[in-house]
Structure 1
Amino acid sequence: MRPLRFVALGDSLTEGVGDPVGDGWRGWAALLADGIAEGPGETRELGERVGSVEPGELVESSGSVEFTNLAVSGSQTRDVLERQLPAGLALRPDVVSVVIGVNDTLRCTFDIQAVAARLDTVYSAFTEQGAVLLTACLPDPGAMLGLPGALARPLARRQRAVNAVVHALSERHGAVHLHAAEGAWLTDRALWSADRLHPGERGHRQLAVRFHALLTERGLATGAAPSPEPEFPVPTTSASLWWLATAGTGWVARRCTDLLPQLLTLAVDEMRHRARGTSARLDLRAAAAVSAALTALAVAEQRPDAA
């Protein structure tokens, strides 16, 4: 009997940024794999490149779970649809996580209708294969970075829109959905890395523990829950600052280069509406865009040629 297959798709959060192990990243998905099922471990080699995994590299296996992480830092929903989805489907996972969307909000090409259509395609492709789907709504990056209000509010509006779409589609596809966009864990600095965008080891463990609890409630996890306590010492302040000044700053810059001009325009528009007392219109406009995106998907599903 083959081991249970768990495949993770997404961006830097799922890749494990903030939870360093050796020369690479581990992250919440790898931690969760330890507790999905019990049994003797196995490993296998890939005969071709899959995502960030090179030919001949060993796919991790913990207990009776075969875990493959296809997540790549900087990925948007388009990358998951076009690159990670085919590789994930080829692995025929029993459990698949799709946690994505923050990078879309950081780009000038942000389009909630396109985001919704891509996520719906990815979710349905895996559920039609019979995989258990894991999803999550995510924190607002502007708030996590501590941006000024006029800059943070447009990003918050975008992230709320993505979360609303993820929540609705997760319910439609029967996903195991984690509400990670709010709660005390967001303000606990001990859970976050120096860049304030990625969890540290303790934060990644918190995500793994919460996902495990949801799976256990549904009778889908039979292994022991991941430990919430860190395995490694917390990075020193100097080490964290050095990472932020080198790799961390570069990470943020690469994600926001094409956003900055538009973000400044959005900030000016935000301040103008606040001065006029019409800020509610921006929220209504965003809500209407989400509703239109979900309605378009529902209409498409009802068409005779949709299948």
Structure 2
Amino acid sequence: MTEGLGDPVPGGGWRGWSALLAEALGERPGSVPLVNLARSGAQAADVAERQLPAARALGPRFASLLVGANDTLRAAFAIERIAAALDRAHGVLSADGAVVLTACLPDPGRMLGLPAPLARPLGRRMRAVNTVVHAVSARYGGVHLHLADHPWVADRASWSVDRLHPSEHGHRLLARGFHTALAATGLPVGPPPALTLDGPPPTRAGSALWMATRGTRWVADRCTDLLPGLIGLALQECRHGLAGSGRLLDAAADRATRSALAALGRTDGAGDGKDPSMSKGAATMVG
């Protein structure tokens, strides 16, 4: 989401909400440089292990930590590992003096319009991730956006052809949401990002090209990674549904989430205590 997919720029590449927000930070437009380290498909462990060291080297004043949806789309989903990775990344960035932006993300099963037996397990996973993100953000005093509950999330025009990444309209709304949240904390910000679209409108040809290239590869990857496990989860969902015991699956997910959060209380996620005065005033985006 932070890489900017869905908001193309002329000549190739992506812009996205982070670039739109960076333009609206600081005392004058463009005074806060942006380094976007985000990569499509990144999971929480990728952020903590690969992107975090690069982000720290930049000494950012602002850093985004929007991650977790990709984890729900993997067979090896483990909320305890996700929680540990998010806690480490947020703790280290906060200890370094960065203002960390986080968000609760929409349910991918609902966004993709999957049948209920397939959508419910993904929704359960996303709720677990969002619970962890909310708790970790509160723990370190991050700026949190309840994106999953925003009315515009239900607007199809806010999403690109893959239904998982925002369109230009969605990226602008996301940038505006974070701008509002930052302003509410008293941090100096400029005028809010504009909602007027300036990019080319999506076309059927462009959508077909995406599906024939990146979309097909994404589906193939998920068929070998997620689909076998998801089918098993769907069968389990159906069995519990027929037995009227679906609440047991919800309860098990809740217990796993509580256990993951409890484990964070026994660790120090604040990193090695790098001097906050090292913050250079840039905006670094990971995820």
- 1:225 is matched by which residue type in structure 2? P
CA contact (8 A) 1:107 1:256 kept: no
- Deviation of 1:183 after TM superposition, in Å, equals 3.1
Aligned length: 270
Match in the other structure for 1:38: 27
Unaligned residue ranges in structure 2 (runs of 5+) = 274-287
- 1:37 is matched by which residue type in structure 2? G
Instruction: Give the CA RMSD over aligned residues.
Output: 1.6
Unaligned residue ranges in structure 1 (runs of 5+) = 1-12, 40-61
Match in the other structure for 1:199: 166
Match in the other structure for 2:6: 18
Length-normalised TM-score, structure 2: 0.90
2:118 aligned to which of 134, 139, 151: 151
Counterpart Cα distance in 2 of 1:208 and 1:255: 29
CA contact (8 A) 2:7 2:16 kept: yes
Report the CA distance shift for 1:188/1:267 in structure 2 as closer, same or farther (over 3 A).
Answer: same
Match in the other structure for 2:279: none
Q: How does 1:59-78 map to 2 (within 5 A)?
A: 63-78=30-45
1:140 aligned to which of 82, 103, 107: 107
> Which string of whole-angstrom CA distances, capped at 9 and with x for unpartnered residues, describes residues 152-175 of structure 1?
100000000000000011101100
Counterpart Cα distance in 2 of 1:229 and 1:284: 44
Length-normalised TM-score, structure 1: 0.85
> Which string of whole-angstrom CA distances, capped at 9 and with x for unpartnered residues, describes residues 40-67 of structure 1?
xxxxxxxxxxxxxxxxxxxxxx621011
Three-state SS of the structure 2 residue aligned to 1:20 is: coil
Counterpart Cα distance in 2 of 1:248 and 1:112: 27
Match in the other structure for 1:120: 87
- 2:101 is matched by which residue type in structure 1? L
CA contact (8 A) 1:212 1:221 kept: no
Counterpart Cα distance in 2 of 1:288 and 1:212: 35
- Deviation of 1:234 after TM superposition, in Å, equals 1.6
Three-state SS of the structure 2 residue aligned to 1:258 is: helix
Moved more, 217-226 or 274-283: 217-226
- Deviation of 1:256 after TM superposition, in Å, equals 5.1
> Which string of whole-angstrom CA distances, capped at 9 and with x for unpartnered residues, describes residues 57-107 of structure 1?
xxxxx6210110000111101110111000000000011111000111111
Match in the other structure for 1:244: 211
Match in the other structure for 1:287: 254
CA contact (8 A) 1:103 1:255 kept: no
Match in the other structure for 2:181: 214
> Which string of whole-angstrom CA distances, capped at 9 and with x for unpartnered residues, describes residues 3-34 of structure 1?
xxxxxxxxxx0000111112101110011001
Bigger relative CO (Cα 8 Å, ≥ 6 apart): 2
- 2:143 is matched by which residue type in structure 1? V
Three-state SS of the structure 1 residue aligned to 2:76 is: coil
The yes-or-no answer on 1:166 pairing with 2:133 is yes
CA contact (8 A) 2:7 2:199 kept: no
Seq. identity, %? 55
Counterpart Cα distance in 1 of 2:95 and 2:154: 38
